[in-house]
């Protein structure tokens, strides 16, 4: 927290509250799609473990016979078409520079789910309903996207960041005051494998006593070879020295998880979130890895989207395939399904836990 910027933070927070009120009062227009909308968002900038939750929600819907899509803006993508529709294909591999790294990752992980990239999520949702016949929308990073009405607001909170005591931008990492959590219908505390979530859970319940709170840990499914795309058992590299690099919102959590999974990062290289790697970056990573005697380079699946095929590494590059592991998973699934089944046109459904 930068206390010297608190006066600006006060203005920012007031602006965030005024914007929300403008939508509440109808001064700004909020539109509703024909199908239910589940928003997966957060109250901070940077990583909160949101993307694995989006994938988890999609998998739950697919498993229960639904036809979901993912609506996303494609943060920090290169200028191009204002709307990109990634249709379901078995082996699609979109260019992250065009779509954004997180949409590219989700499209790769969920080939049967349409991913629509557009700043206007209402327009994207209409296209998905008409072209793909979807029956549930997953709104990625949608907690502050008031222009689209939703039926469930799921909010992810990273327990390692202590965000409930942070300040709003630019003094801190909050997009809006923590009182905004009162709008949440479901709260998921992420990265609970790293830090005890008890205190944060109590604080959340003071702000919002009606929303069910779930705990989520980050699990490792295995490693993916960047060259072949083949899965590799993590056991192959457990205990061996590796060089870890990433450009994500919370790199410390990634490095901590590597150690928890039995991997041994002898070097850690970080870049700004969503960074697109250059040849100079690769030279730096290679140099550090060789100096430290690493046997391989480890990164995240999201970072893999920002590596170009012509980049030459001196060691094997492996991405960690992760999954959201939610406690009380059955209850979490029931809350989501009950919420969309009770969807009523023109009114927001508040699921009860």
| pLDDT for residue 350 | 38
Q: Please say if the pLDDT value at position 115 is more than 70.
A: yes
All residues at 6 or more sequence positions from 162 whose CB lies less than 8 Å from its CB, including other chains: 200
Is residue 224 within a helix (H) or strand (E), and if so which, with residue range? strand 213-225
Q: What is the DSSP string of 59-99?
A: HHHHHTT--EEEEE--TTPPS--SEEEE---TT----HHHH
Structure tokens at 161: 């960041």
Percent of the chain whose pLDDT exceeds 70: 96
Q: Please state whether the peptide bond connecting residue 156 to the residue before it is cis, i.e. omega within 30 degrees of 0.
A: no
Question: Contact, 107 vs 94, CB < 8 A?
Answer: yes
Q: Please say if the pLDDT value at position 6 is more than 60.
A: yes
| pLDDT for residue 343 | 66
Reported pTM? 0.90
pLDDT band at 215 (very low <50, low <70, confident <90, very high): very high
Q: What is the mean pLDDT of the chain?
A: 90
pLDDT band at 80 (very low <50, low <70, confident <90, very high): low
Q: Please say if the pLDDT value at position 352 is more than 50.
A: no
All residues at 6 or more sequence positions from 337 whose CB lies less than 8 Å from its CB, including other chains: 60, 64
Among the listed residues 296, 192, 281, the one whose alpha carbon sits nearest the alpha carbon of residue 244: 296
Q: Please say if the pLDDT value at position 229 is more than 90.
A: no
Dihedral angle at the C-alpha atoms of 278, 283, 288, 293, nearest 10 degrees? 120
| pLDDT for residue 345 | 40
| pLDDT for residue 228 | 83
pLDDT band at 315 (very low <50, low <70, confident <90, very high): very high
Q: Is the dihedral of CA 344, 147, 103, 237 positive or negative?
A: negative
Residue written as token pair 């202590």: 162
| pLDDT for residue 79 | 65
What whole-number distance in Å separates Cα of residue 59 and Cα of residue 42?
A: 20
| pLDDT for residue 227 | 82
Pure H helices in the chain: 6-24, 50-63, 96-99, 101-109, 121-132, 198-207, 251-260, 279-291, 301-304, 329-341
What whole-number distance in Å separates Cα of residue 152 and Cα of residue 350?
A: 7
The mean pLDDT of 78-92, rounded to a whole number, is 85
| Most confident among 46-50, 124-128, 227-231 (mean pLDDT) | 124-128
| pLDDT for residue 96 | 85
**β-strand pairing of 213-225 with 231-232:** antiparallel
Q: Which of 41-50, 151-160, 260-269 has the lowest mean pLDDT?
A: 41-50
Query: By three-state DSSP, how is residue 300 classified?
Result: strand
| pLDDT for residue 145 | 93
Residue pLDDT, tens place only, 170-195: 888 899 999 999 999 999 999 999 99
Residue pLDDT, tens place only, 33-73: 999 999 999 998 877 789 999 999 999 999 999 999 999 98
Judge residue 146's burial from the number of C-beta atoms within 10 Å of its C-beta, 0-12 exposed, 13-18 middle, 19 or more buried. middle
328 compared with 13, residue with greater pLDDT: 328
Structure tokens at 255: 């490095």
What whole-number distance in Å separates Cα of residue 102 and Cα of residue 52?
A: 10
pLDDT band at 10 (very low <50, low <70, confident <90, very high): confident
């Amino acid at each position: 927290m930068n206390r010297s910027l608190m006066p600006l933070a006060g203005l920012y927070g007031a602006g965030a509250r005024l914007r929300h009120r403008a939508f509440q009062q109808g001064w700004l227009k909020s539109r509703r799609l024909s199908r239910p909308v589940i928003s997966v968002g957060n109250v901070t900038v940077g990583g909160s473990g949101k993307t694995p939750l989006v994938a988890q929600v999609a998998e739950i819907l697919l498993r229960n016979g639904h036809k979901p899509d993912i609506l996303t803006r494609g943060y920090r993508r290169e200028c191009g078409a204002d709307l990109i529709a990634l249709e379901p294909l078995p082996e699609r591999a979109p260019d992250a520079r065009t779509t954004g790294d997180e949409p590219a990752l989700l499209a790769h992980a969920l080939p049967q789910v349409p991913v629509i990239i557009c700043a206007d999520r209402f327009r994207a949702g209409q296209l998905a309903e008409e072209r793909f016949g979807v029956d549930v929308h997953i709104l990625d990073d949608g907690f502050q996207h008031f222009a689209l009405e939703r039926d469930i607001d799921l909010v992810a909170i990273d327990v390692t960041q202590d965000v409930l005591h942070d300040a709003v931008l630019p003094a801190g990492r909050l997009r809006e005051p923590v009182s905004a959590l009162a709008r949440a219908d479901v709260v998921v505390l992420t990265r609970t494998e790293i830090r005890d979530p008890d205190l944060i859970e109590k604080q959340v319940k003071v702000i919002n006593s009606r929303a069910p709170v779930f705990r989520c840990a980050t699990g490792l499914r295995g490693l993916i070879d960047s060259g072949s795309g083949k899965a590799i058992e993590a056991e192959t590299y457990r205990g061996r020295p590796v060089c870890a690099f990433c450009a994500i919102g919370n790199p410390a959590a990634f490095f901590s998880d590597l150690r928890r999974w039995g991997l041994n990062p002898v070097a850690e290289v970080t870049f700004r979130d969503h960074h697109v790697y250059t040849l100079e970056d690769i030279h730096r990573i290679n140099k550090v890895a060789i100096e430290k005697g690493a046997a391989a380079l480890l990164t995240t699946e999201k970072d893999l989207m920002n590596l170009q095929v012509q980049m030459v590494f001196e060691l094997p590059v492996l991405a960690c395939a992760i999954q959201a592991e939610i406690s009380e998973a059955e209850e979490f699934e029931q809350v989501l399904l009950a919420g969309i089944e009770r969807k009523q046109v023109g009114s927001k459904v508040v699921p009860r836990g």
